[in-house]
Structure 1
Amino acid sequence: MNSYKDYNIILINIDGFRKDKIDYCPTLKSLKENSYYFSKMNTVAPYTFASLHSVFTGMYPSKHGVNGYYNIFEFKKDFITTLPEILKKSGYYTSCDIISEVVIPKQGFDEWNIFDEKSVNFVTRHTELIKKLSKKEKFFLFLHYTEVHKHLVREIIQKDNEELNDNFFESKEENHKRLDSYLPDCDSYVKAIQSSLKEFDIDDKTILIFFADHGTSIGEKEGEKFYGVFTYDYTINVFSIFHIPNSIPKIIEKQCRTIDLFPTIRELIGHVPSENLEEIQGESLIPLIDDPNAKNRDVFVETGGLYGPWPSPHKHNVFCVKFDDHKLIYNDTPQTWEFYDLQNDPDENNNLYNPNSIKIKRYKERLLFYLNQNKIDTNLRS
């Protein structure tokens, strides 16, 4: 693949967007069909704080420190080089617009913007920001789009304070319709971003990347009304769309991870690392684009919910490893196991866990590898 060292880069997180809703958004669907589309990308943590810190570091949460809702200030900033720091050293003007100063690492940004979610007009605000940056020689811009997420918080979390055994889990069709009602605004936003690149005459020299940090429950599993509690595919199997000017569109159906975004962007700009970057755990996605024989990548996910059957906001306590179309889940607090055949049971309804299975023992070994690599203390290690 060519070097794009002189191209602008716009990285946009559609917070909480479900992959199965892309085709309900005509503009986003068209962008998907005319770009590199990673259909089997997985988040390494199904909630925003841990997920986005992993995107900006290329590391798993327990490696970079943000490994719990209450650990948002535990980022190991003195020991980690972030993506914006690398881009800044490579001549990029770096900017962001986010909902809160704790959502992503601050290191490496020339410009740091925070919006008021209650009053923000994302289309106006973000197109104006792109207009301003279009005058720079080259820039990196991270945009946090939270409109869909905001409505879901209001309608599901803030409005409904009843116990988790209410009718939410028996109302999947209604939950789908509620979510669908927020999609037109999201699609209009995507269209406005694309139009602004053309209007400001930078569309032919800008790499545009859309991704989801996690998915959202519509009531699939008892105990999870939103996200961050479990590691089922409706929240961990997300997506990424890379629109690179003059590139031939391609659907990449190889399993990959959100920690792979960092090394991919680094490779696109031809960055030769001078920093100590051996701690990066992600791998560039470019081999998955260029090599038809490239292999699927292991997926390891960690989380600890604010609510649910075993809340753990101080320390992750739910883990999974996923490869070869199967997934092993370990719930540390009750010390229970789940094993799913994702090809034949994509909704993860039939738990096939058998402690005597040779196949499952192989998955356990792989899970233990990631727990040890990231120095995660669980009951398995005690």
Structure 2
Amino acid sequence: MMMSWRSLFGGRKSGPRPNVVLILLDQFRHDARSVHPVFSTLGDRGCLFSETITYAPYTLASMHATMTGLYGRQTGVDAYTKSDQFQSGQCHTLAQYLQEAGYHTRGYTFSKLLVPPDGFDSLSIVPEDEETGVLANQLAELDAAFAQSKPFFCYLHYPEIHHVIVRDVLRKYTPFDEEYFGNRERNRAAYLEAARGAAEHTAALLEAVDRRDPNGDTLVVVMTDHGGGVGERVGEKAYGVFTYDYTIRIWMYLVCAPLLPAGAEFDAQVRTVDLVPTLLELLELSPSSRHTALTGRSLLPLIRGEETSGRPAFTETGGVEGPNPSPDHPNVKSLRADGWKLIYNQTINTFELYNLVEDPHERTNLYTTHPEKAREMWVKMSEYL
């Protein structure tokens, strides 16, 4: 049996494994958490991984990676058009792990393309044009989950930021529209208003969990799948076109009083593919030996202080629009490691190299002036290509 957090501190808790609630706030920027105190509350109650890097800056590929602990070349979902190519026989999803461990598993999202359905006893798919009240519907999902006689896993995807951006940005402007890219402050203000709605939704869900579980035994994960632009780079109105940090640098909270420390922030770089192995170790479940070995690694060594350095993070995308659209194959790759970032655009064969410590907004391309660092980063990136 694998060593878990609770077995290191006070021994295994008696009784069933904890319920697991995963709240996904679609397209929530790293720098937008200040809009509401719910994020400070989450940080006070659990662990914040403040330098999390997503595999893909769009939901479909990001969540197939997050839910399996595998990158797109392993899941088969590495592009916008490849949801139907998910390698279900080779990948084991978080829902499947928990279902096999005796959990009731249920979820709520707005498209069947966005998350692998494997392992869900119930997966409610409510398209945007049929949604009558996302909060009421997700509270009903929690009610149904807590009514179970066995532990449950409940996945709740909040889509409203995405819906607002699609309606007010993606369908309104072209990828090179001066009206949009020339009004970043206006764009940001509109984005933050949508982010406040997401935060209020999160606070309501957490309050509902606390009412049903006043002891705080439920393992709650709150995270986003990717960030979103507000006009930083001409050609990308929101997400999915490039791999700059405003879309790939995200965050993740893990909260569970019996299992995890409170008020702990970890700023070492981690990846969204690290979530599944982390939950498996916390719940004392073994990775499947019948499926592709996990790419991600448990975050518990960071929590226990056994590991302090960040992990290399690979990201890739292929936009449906922009200067080099490639919806069928990822054509823009990035490798983030040790405070540096290399970006490679396969379509036009260009490279960008950034020192993220000195240049966090990625404005000065050092590729030609730092050839040794560029070669070092290319070798690291090549491991993922």
Query: TM-score band, normalised by the shorter chain?
Result: over 0.9
Post-superposition CA distance 1:147-188 (Å, at most 9, x none): 11111111001233x451422222111111111122332222
Contact kept in structure 2, 1:197 and 1:203, CA below 8 Å: no
Alpha-carbon contact 1:337-1:353 (below 8 Å) kept: yes
For structure 1, which runs of at least 5 residues remain unmatched after alignment?
A: 372-382
Write out per-residue CA displacement over residues 9-37 of structure 1, whole angstroms, 9 at most, x where no aligned residue.
00111000001010111222321333200
- Per-residue deviation at 1:297? 0.2
Say which of 186, 200, 205 aligns to 2:212.
Answer: 200
How far has the Cα of 1:144 moved from its partner? 0.6
Asked whether 1:8 is paired with 2:19, we answer yes
**Relative to structure 2, which stretch is displaced further, 174-183 or 211-220?**
174-183
Out of 341, 346, 349, the position equivalent to 2:355 is 341
Q: 1:369 to 1:29 in 2, by over 3 A?
A: same
Distance 1:81 1:274 in 2: 7
Which structure 2 residues correspond to residues 167-246 of structure 1 after superposition, within 5 A? 167-201=179-213, 204-246=216-258
TM-score (normalizing by structure 2):
0.92
Give the partner amino acid of 1:49.
Answer: L
User: What are the residue-to-residue correspondences of 1:1-382 with 2, within 5 Å?
Assistant: 1-2=5-6, 6-118=17-129, 119-136=131-148, 137-160=150-173, 162=174, 164-201=176-213, 204-246=216-258, 247-277=261-291, 279-291=293-305, 293-354=307-368, 357-371=371-385
Q: What is the alpha-carbon distance in structure 1 between the residues aligned to residue 193 and residue 137 of structure 2?
A: 22
Q: 1:222 and 1:362 mapped to 2: Cα distance?
A: 29
Cα 1:303/1:134, change in 2 over 3 Å: same
Secondary structure, aligned partner of 2:81:
helix
Whether the 8 Å CA contact 1:217–1:227 is kept in 2: the answer is: yes
For the Cα contact (< 8 Å) 1:355–1:361, is it kept in 2? no
Does structure 2 retain, via aligned residues, the 8 Å contact 1:217–1:234?
yes
Mapped to 1, the partners of 2:134 and 2:288 lie a distance apart of 37
3-state DSSP of counterpart to 1:80: coil
Q: Between the two proteins, what is the percent identity of the paired residues? A: 33
Contact 1:40 1:239 in 2 (8 A): yes
Is 1:69–1:306's contact at 8 Å kept on the other side of the alignment? yes
Shift of 1:44: 0.7
Letter paired with 2:45: N
C-alpha root-mean-square deviation of aligned residues, in Å? 1.6
Give how far 1:293 is off. Answer: 4.2
Q: Structure 1: which 4+ aligned runs deviate by more than 4 Å?
A: none
Compared CA separation, residues 31 and 42, structure 1 to 2 (3 A): same
TM-score, length-scaled by structure 1: 0.93
Gap change, CA 1:19 and 1:163, over 3 Å in 2? closer
Contact 2:44 2:262 in 1 (8 A): no
In structure 2, give the amino acid aligned to 1:317.
N
Amino acid at match of 1:341: N
CA–CA separation in structure 2 for the residues paired with 1:274 and 1:150: 36
Cα contact 1:134–1:202 (8 A) shared by 2: no
Which letter maps to 2:328? H
**CA offset at residue 312 of structure 1?**
0.2
Q: Quick check: 2:36–2:196 contact (8 Å CA) kept in 1?
A: yes
Q: How many residues align?
A: 370
2:175 and 2:234 in contact (8 A); partners too: no
CA contact (8 A) 2:43 2:262 kept: no
Query: Which letter does structure 2 place at the counterpart of 1:30?
Result: T
Give the SS at the match of 1:39: strand
SS at match of 1:238: strand
Whole-angstrom distance in 1 between the partners of 2:215 and 2:62: 28
